[in-house]
Each structure stands twice: as structure tokens, then as C-alpha cells.
Structure 1
Amino acid sequence: MKRSIYLILFVFILGACDKGFEDVNVNPTKPVQVDVSTKLTTAILLASSERYDNWRANLIYQSTMMQHMATLAGYWAGDKYTWDRGYASSLMDRYYTGVVKQVEDMLLQLETEGGPEEMKAITRILRVFAYSRLTDLYGDVPYSEAGKAVIDGVFQPSYDPQSEIYADMLNELEESAAALGTGTSGFGSADIIYNGDQEKWRRLANSLMLRLGFRLIKVDPAGAQEWVTKAINGGVMESNADIFYVPHTNGPEGINQNGNGETFLADNSPRLSKTFVDFMLNNDDPRLTVLGSLPENTGETDGGGAAILRTPTERLDPTTQKGLPNGLDAGLLEDSTGETNIQAYTEPNRMLVTGLDDPMFFQTYAEVEFMLAEANVRWGLAGDAETHYNNGVRAAMEMLEMYGGGGAIPSADIDDYLINNPYDPGNALEQINTQYWAATFLNEYEAFSNWRRTGFPVLVPVNYPGNVTNGTIPRRLTYSESEQVNNPQNYNEAISRQGPDLLTTRVWWDVE
């Protein structure tokens, strides 16, 4: 399945090469249309994206705001609620020139060529995912006119209200699910997510509908219940075999490689947050030995000046691990804890979650099970909440094996965890959504969105000197600075409707 990944990097070059005398009468100024299946592979990888925005929007900002990560480095703006406009706009900058442009082009090509309905449906589902990530992070964004520069000559797209974007995305998912049947789609092996399996794409459409339906819970509770009910009745993910993720490879470089893994190889400053490590330590969570480890270099030297290194066994000992508090720099760390050695704090396990060929998770079966549990708590839907909660915890732990054999957690350890941390109906929503937060480690887009939706887990804000939020956790990221220059009318219309282009402005569905 991964062989398709290698092909896309040079397929466009091949299309421009001299193929011989048979092409002598072909207009050399007219671009050669690339097969739409190849474009799907590219679109999927562009959705996973590269180091640039995974480093900035996903990790620097959201992972630290959500207290999965912490760092002393000043350029990690999200850890301290400071504002770096270029970092904050990085997803917008990459997605509109990447996956958005690609899926809009694919839909046009499928319409022009009379492509099969199931191929259109799969493209529409991927399109919804891309736009949902954009609108959840920024609020009102270009939607109805986005990606139309080449297609329709729209170089200054309008910003659609998020309420209208959501209505259309949910409708797109409903129609796409209905258009999918059984068997393999025309994309075949070019579909590096589900290998063309229409049934898995149908379950994904309903699972994304479940996610987006729940986003409405604060602004339109009745609408949320309606869409959640539709999603459940339509059929959602059933196991970890249905996970929506992108497989990656060690090379070639660029979008073939996992952008998070590229980040950790380039930046050794991040540590696991004290909030996250304490959650796992306090609950005897077996994920800590998978997700975290102590740096091999202790930061200390022996009598001869040589660095003291830890052994792999010591690195995986949970009792030696501690998380780094958020919102500190080196001076504040020493003042508040007396600690001066950053190597004493748990880092992301570089033997496991920092590989270039790691999967990039977009939506997991564990998340779906936690939402089914919440649907039962709120509305009596989907069966038994406790069963779904247990299924979610188990799935979240078992899926770590997808990082490699070192991620495998024995079933007996998961059983013990559930016995020692049983479902609590009196505290159900907090418990369910705190586990959701734990399960979305490294998919910080979803961790941030679900936290804004539910308020869980309960996070303690930081108040770093010079922060721009008055010591409150940001509620969105900010638009590209270039939009003020290149698309001023539509940019100004968006902020006049939504509110100032600040980290503290709430998106439509995130009402107080």
C-alpha cells in the first residue's frame, strides 16, 4: 500500500518530460491532467502535511495549550500564551495551498470526467475533514470560494460564517455516506487510508458526523442531538481497524514523512507536561512507559567530564519520570522548583513516537467510543455508557501498537487499569472527556477542539510574563498576516462578524 506514496513525488515531473515523437502534436503549453487516483494519494499526504505546520500549529501552540507538552524554549509560544502570528497561521498557510487546492481540483476533475459517485463521495469526505480542521482552529474561513483561484479565478475568497460552514459540512457527510456502497472504490490502492474500502469510508463519514454534531452542543443542543443520532444510526467505526490515519514512510523527505516525527528529530526542547504525566502517574496508566521516557543524556557528567547516559531500562521506568510544568522558562523553573536540569524531565519517547514512518492519526475508534458513551449519558443513545467507556480506554491503549512493537500494552495491564479506574456515572462527562484528551495526544487539533467544547480536562492556565491573553488559555489561532494585505475586504468582514483576530476570540460554536 505504501508504494503509492513514493510515486507521487515525481509523477508531476514525469508528466512534463519529453515522451517521444508521439507527443509532437500536443500543445506544450497545456498542462497534462494527472490521474485523479494519484491526486487522492497526494491529497491525503497534504492533509497530514509536513513539519512546518505540525511543528507550529499542532505542537508549539496546541500541544502546550492543552498541556500534553511543555517546554522552557521561548519560541514555543503556546506554552506561554504569547503571540507569533506566523506560527499561529501555519495551518491556514499550508492547508489552503495544499490539501484544499487539491481536493477542489479533484472534485472538478471527477465532475468533468463523469467519475463514479463513490469516488466523489470519498473526496468530499476528505474535503470535509480538511475544512473542519481549518474552521475549528480559526472560525470563519474561506469555504464556498476556497481553492478556486485556478478553477474560477477567485483570488480573494470570501470568509464564510462558521455556522454556514458547519451546516454544509454535515450535509456533505450525510450525502457522501449515502453514496457509498460495498466493495472497492475506483481509487483502489491509491487510497492509502482504507485501500478503497467503501464501507470503511462510509463509517468514517458517520464518525466525522458524530464529531461535528457534538461540536454544536453549546450553541445548538437540539441540532447536536439530531446529527449525533443520524451518525449513530448510520453506523460509525467498529474497531481499531477503522481508524482514520495516514501511513508514512522514512523517505523520501517531505509529506511522505510524519511531520510530528520530523519535528522531534529537529527540536529536543519539548517535554511531557506535568499535567499529562501526573494524570498517568496518579492512575497507574501503562501509557506512560510508551509515550514518555527520560532523556538518555542525564545532563550530568562523571569525574572525567564524560556525559552520564541512562540505559533503555531506566528510560522506561515510570517511577523515575516527572512532567515539566507549563508556562516557565529556565529562570522561572529554577525559581519555582529549584531544578536547573531540564534533562530530569520526561520527554516524548524518542524510541517510539518520533519516527518518520509513524502513523498520523486524524480520528480514532477510541474517540468514537467515548462520544458514544457521552451520547448515552446525555440522551440515552447508543446503548450502555460504561461499555463504551471501557471500549474507548481499551482501544486507546491498544492502538499504540500501531507505532511499532514497543507500543504494545498487555491486555492484563489494560484490565487492571479499568479495574482500578472504573467508570463513574456520577462524574461521567468529565471522566469520558478526560480520557478523550489522553487518547488524542499528538492530534492536538482534536484535543483543543474537544476541550473547548466540553471544558475537560480541567486545565490550570499559566500567567507567563508578557502573555497576550491575560493568563487565560487561548480559544483559537489567528489568521495569516498576508490576508490583511492581499484579501483585506473579506478579512475585515470576517473579524467584524466574528470578533478581533486575537487568540482570545471564540469561534461560533464555542460560546461561554
Structure 2
Amino acid sequence: MTKKIFKYSSILFLLASLAVTSCKKLDDMNTDPTRPTTASPANLLTGAQKSTMDMLYSGLQNGFIAMNYAQFWTGNSRTNDSQFNLDEGNNAAFWNTLYRISLHNLDDLVKQNTANPGLPGATNQSAIAKITSAWIYQILADTYGNIPYTKTFQGSSNITPQYDDAQTIYNSLLDTLQAQINVLDTAQVSFETGDIIYNGDVEKWKKLANSLMLRLAIRMVDANPQKAKQIIEAHYKDAISDNGENAEFEYLSTAPNKFPYNESERAIIDFSVSATLVDYMKSVNDPRLSIYARPSTISDTILGMPYGSSASNPDRLPIDNYSFPGTQIYSATMPGILMGYAEVEFILAEAAARGMSVGDDAATHYAKGITASINYWRTLTNNSDITDATIQAYIAKVPYVAADWRNVIGTQKWLALYPQGFQAWFERTRLHFSKPGGQPLFIAPVSGSLDPSVTMVPYRLTYLQSEQTQNKASYEKAASDIGGDKKGTKLWYNKF
């Protein structure tokens, strides 16, 4: 495994350097003449996986943006991000990395194998690349709304690609995933090296593709309930079914392949865990709290900071009074989570609550989701204080209530998605849930929002400022089509 990551590191860092120093125009998203053209499919896959995970778990993107918008964390070193002031550099790095490195690598991989169809494993390799691309495109569509999709990577023939309708992209991604499920052949090889997520295990990639279809379907369920039902009922049996099948990127304890936001070399004080998270977990005696957060540095108490407290807020205590994220969350070897069993079970719990046929009833899937999440963390941290009896006692404290399914499932799914800031943020805006019983869980920033279009939570990120000049016509059409390029503009599946 170590060899597979290190083999690609130099290529990945070269690409990142080139992106920063020489990629100044939109056509760089489509073609980069300085980019190595001889990277193997295995190296291209590793680079795509790592560059995406590095963005999803970076302190700049996950921390200052997604973990804030999910209201898991709130800012210490700077507080404007918790008040919805978007750092345009962090925004641009997210978009550019996913397009110029991650998706471009995967596009190159497929093109190489298409040109050499007789190579061993080429068909499975291309299918895995397309599944990975579908995962990334959904993240982009859920982050921004309409995005370039059908006209990307066409080289100099199209340096100002149009933005495609996000709902249409969703339908295309579902078709793509279904096609790869049909193509993947467990009797054939795939990647002998390079696949950090599943080590070339074709059966697990099939399970992930089915699971991603569930994620797509449940997110669009209010916009297209019939199609969501059809997809979920057809694919739930073949999705991830235990924690051993979780899709994760394995980081290492040595540079340059450590978890992108870790404290192995320095203390991290940029964020405190929010009072929103801590206070709710304390209220139900959640056994994951001591994993998600650590005691403050001046006491043995876990104390969350009120969300969105500005540095000038007179009620804000010195940061040593508040809790930082848990040591496992900042570990150099913290896995990059793509999708896990707990999420699948919460999707099925919601599907059952909505009347879909998914084997067990909603209460059973709900309990399985909680159990999967707690088991994941007790195994990862070797926590002997959490027992099976602990889990059952916890489930009894947070029982499934059919009449309150949105709040009950939404709250537990949110907890299970920690520290997957982007997915937790997307689910917060989609399900718009409260605490079980209906009392508010989330709060507006206590020091107020710095964005006039947002009060409680952004629904999206604004497009890159460079798009307004370098791809002006496409940008203006996209902004008009979605209802305005503002963080308060709801995505297509939020408008119900």
C-alpha cells in the first residue's frame, strides 16, 4: 500500500505545482500541455483518489467551509468563515483541483484504456475510473449547482465549456454508475497497484457503485420521488453491507502521505468543536463524543464553542476553554472516508420511512446505522469503553419515532457523517431537520452572517471569480439558470 501511494506522490505534487504556477486560464481545465502524458492508469487513479481526498479533508476546504456549514466546528484562528464569508482562494483550489487534477486524471485513464482495449484489466480499470468520476461530479454538483460536465476535457476545441443542468447531470451519473455495474467483471483483473481505496477489488467497487446510486437517489427524492424509489429498491441489496466494505483512502504516518489535516508535527488550534454538536451529544450521552472532541486544554471538560462567535464577541471565552476536535480526527493516519456502511443504512431508514421496500423497516435500518457508526469509531480508536451494551443503551435513548422520522434520522445521520463535512452539509440543507421532537438543532451564527443572502446556512458555494471573466457567457447563463450566483440560492433538490 505504501509503495502505491509514494509511487504517485511526485507526479501529484508536480501537477499541483503546475496548477498553481501556470494554470491561469479556463482552458487549463481542459488541457495542460505541461502535464505528464505517460503516467500509467494505476498512477492516474492514485493521483485522482489522493487529490480528491486531500481537498475533501483539507483544513482549508473541509475545515473552513464544510465543517463550518455542517456546524460541526467553528473558527478560532479566523472567524469570518463561520459567518459565511467565503475565502475565494480556498474555493478556487477546490474547483480547480477536482477538475484539473482529479477528473483530468480519470479522463486520461479512460482514454488510455480505450486506445488499448486489449490490455489486461482495461475494462475494469475504466469502469472504476468512471465510478470515481461520478463520485467527484456529484460533489461538484452538490457544492455549486450547475457545473461544466458534458463539454469538459475537449482540449482546444472548447476552452469555455458550458455549464450543464445539475438535475440532468444527476440522471447521467445514475446511468453511468449503472453501466459500470454491468461492465465490472469479477473474473477479470483490474488494478494490481494504484487503487488505494479497494486495492483493485472489483466486487467492492460494484458495491460502492450501488451505494453511490443510493446517495444520488435519496438526495433527489423530493424532486423526483418515483425515480428515487425505483433506484433505491433496485440497488439496496447490492450496496455496502458492513464496515469492512467501507470505501476509504488509507493515509500513512509519513510525509507526504499523511491525512491532509493532522497535528503530528504541530498543534492545530484553527477550530473548536461547536456547542451545537457537543451539547446535543451530551444530552443523549453519545459514546462517540470523546472521539469527536477532546477536553479543553485547561480542564477535563468537553465544551463546545457557540457557533459563529466572532473574535470581538464579549461572551466568547479564550480558546483554551473550548474543545478542539478529537485526536483521532487529527491523526496522520485518519482515513479519508468516501462512503460507509452507516450512511447506507441511514439512506435505507429514510427510504423505508417514505414507504419504499428495502427489506427491513425504518426502525431496523435506523438502529443498524447507529450501530455501524459507533462500531466504526470504537474499532478505529480501539476504544474498549464502548461495548455492545453501550450501543444498545444509546439506541434506547434515541429511539426511532415514525411520526418524527425526518428529525430522528436526520440527526443521527448527521452525527454519523462526522467528519465528512461536505456530505453532512449537503444532508443538513436537504433534510432541514431539527432535534428529535422538533426543537432547533442548528443556530444562526451568534455574531451574525456576513453574507446578505444567507441567514442560517449556505446552500451552495458561489462560482469562481475567474469564471466571470474567463468563461463569462457560460457563467452568466449558469448563474441565471440556478436563480442567482449566491450562497443562499437553493439547489434544484432543495426547492421542495
TM-score bracket for this pair, using the shorter chain length: 0.7 to 0.9
Deviation string 1:470-489 (CA, Å, 9 cap, x unpaired) is 52311101111111121112
Is 1:372 aligned to 2:348, yes or no?
Answer: yes
Partner Cα distance (2:415, 2:404) in 1: 17
The corresponding residue for 1:54 is 58
**What TM-score do the two structures reach when normalised by structure 1?**
0.85
Contact 2:198–2:204 (8 Å) recurs in 1: yes
Contact 1:50–1:258 (8 Å) recurs in 2: no
Contact 2:296–2:303 (8 Å) recurs in 1: no
Partner Cα distance (2:411, 2:265) in 1: 25
Following superposition, the deviation at residue 206 of structure 1 comes to 0.6
Contact 1:209–1:228 (8 Å) recurs in 2: yes
Contact 2:134–2:173 (8 Å) recurs in 1: yes
The corresponding residue for 2:275 is 274
Partner Cα distance (1:397, 1:66) in 2: 20
The 1:66/1:10 distance shift into structure 2, 3 A limit, reads: closer
Is 1:397 aligned to 2:370, yes or no?
Answer: no
The corresponding residue for 2:19 is none
Give the match's secondary structure for 2:495.
coil
The corresponding residue for 1:23 is none
The corresponding residue for 2:113 is 110
Give the match's secondary structure for 1:140.
coil
The 1:83/1:120 distance shift into structure 2, 3 A limit, reads: closer
Give the match's secondary structure for 2:248.
strand
The corresponding residue for 2:178 is 174
The 1:269/1:367 distance shift into structure 2, 3 A limit, reads: same
The corresponding residue for 2:43 is 38
Which amino acid counterpart does residue 443 of structure 1 have in structure 2? Q
The corresponding residue for 1:508 is 492
Give the match's secondary structure for 1:260.
coil
Following superposition, the deviation at residue 222 of structure 1 comes to 1.5
Following superposition, the deviation at residue 212 of structure 1 comes to 0.2
Which of residues 92, 96, 100 in structure 2 aligns to 1:97? 100
The 1:473/1:122 distance shift into structure 2, 3 A limit, reads: same
Contact 1:91–1:134 (8 Å) recurs in 2: no
Give the match's secondary structure for 1:405.
coil
Which amino acid counterpart does residue 324 of structure 1 have in structure 2? M
Contact 1:62–1:444 (8 Å) recurs in 2: yes
Give the match's secondary structure for 1:347.
coil
Which of residues 162, 165, 168 in structure 2 aligns to 1:161? 165
Contact 2:211–2:240 (8 Å) recurs in 1: yes
Is 1:138 aligned to 2:144, yes or no?
Answer: yes
Contact 1:73–1:329 (8 Å) recurs in 2: no
**What TM-score do the two structures reach when normalised by structure 2?**
0.88
Which of residues 474, 479, 487 in structure 1 aligns to 2:471? 487
Following superposition, the deviation at residue 35 of structure 1 comes to 1.8
Contact 2:263–2:332 (8 Å) recurs in 1: yes
Following superposition, the deviation at residue 450 of structure 1 comes to 1.1
Following superposition, the deviation at residue 491 of structure 1 comes to 1.1
Answer with 1 or 2: which has the greater Rg. Answer: 1
1:304-383 equivalences under 5 Å are: 314=300, 320-332=301-313, 334-335=314-315, 340-350=317-327, 352-382=328-358, 383=360
- Count residues in correspondence: 466
The corresponding residue for 2:27 is none
Following superposition, the deviation at residue 434 of structure 1 comes to 1.0
Contact 2:307–2:443 (8 Å) recurs in 1: no
The 1:136/1:30 distance shift into structure 2, 3 A limit, reads: closer
Which of residues 455, 462, 467 in structure 1 aligns to 2:450? 467
Partner Cα distance (2:385, 2:113) in 1: 41
Partner Cα distance (1:251, 1:346) in 2: 27
Contact 2:459–2:490 (8 Å) recurs in 1: yes
Deviation string 1:72-94 (CA, Å, 9 cap, x unpaired) is 443551x1122433333432122
The 1:502/1:463 distance shift into structure 2, 3 A limit, reads: farther
Following superposition, the deviation at residue 390 of structure 1 comes to 1.1
The 1:211/1:329 distance shift into structure 2, 3 A limit, reads: same
Partner Cα distance (1:30, 1:48) in 2: 21
Q: CA RMSD in A?
A: 2.5
Following superposition, the deviation at residue 261 of structure 1 comes to 2.5
Following superposition, the deviation at residue 169 of structure 1 comes to 0.3
Which amino acid counterpart does residue 48 of structure 1 have in structure 2? M
Which of residues 475, 478, 484 in structure 1 aligns to 2:462? 478
The 1:180/1:330 distance shift into structure 2, 3 A limit, reads: same
Contact 1:483–1:491 (8 Å) recurs in 2: yes
The 1:81/1:480 distance shift into structure 2, 3 A limit, reads: same
State the identity as a percent: 27
Contact 1:50–1:257 (8 Å) recurs in 2: no
Partner Cα distance (1:30, 1:261) in 2: 29
Partner Cα distance (2:229, 2:222) in 1: 11
Give the match's secondary structure for 1:348.
coil
The 1:342/1:407 distance shift into structure 2, 3 A limit, reads: farther
Deviation string 1:268-295 (CA, Å, 9 cap, x unpaired) is 1311111100111001111011111124
Give the match's secondary structure for 2:78.
coil
The 1:93/1:263 distance shift into structure 2, 3 A limit, reads: farther
Partner Cα distance (1:454, 1:30) in 2: 41
Which amino acid counterpart does residue 41 of structure 1 have in structure 2? T
Deviation string 1:189-211 (CA, Å, 9 cap, x unpaired) is 32111111111111110100000
Partner Cα distance (2:353, 2:235) in 1: 16
Give the match's secondary structure for 2:338.
strand
The corresponding residue for 2:246 is 243
The 1:501/1:422 distance shift into structure 2, 3 A limit, reads: same
Which amino acid counterpart does residue 46 of structure 1 have in structure 2? S
Give the match's secondary structure for 2:400.
coil
Deviation string 1:196-233 (CA, Å, 9 cap, x unpaired) is 11111111101000000111122212122122222225
Contact 1:290–1:406 (8 Å) recurs in 2: no
The 1:264/1:272 distance shift into structure 2, 3 A limit, reads: farther
Partner Cα distance (2:318, 2:194) in 1: 48
Following superposition, the deviation at residue 148 of structure 1 comes to 3.5
Give the match's secondary structure for 1:190.
coil
Which amino acid counterpart does residue 3 of structure 2 have in structure 1? R
Partner Cα distance (2:344, 2:265) in 1: 28
Following superposition, the deviation at residue 31 of structure 1 comes to 6.0
The corresponding residue for 2:199 is 195
Is 1:218 aligned to 2:222, yes or no?
Answer: yes
The corresponding residue for 1:409 is 386
Partner Cα distance (1:356, 1:44) in 2: 17
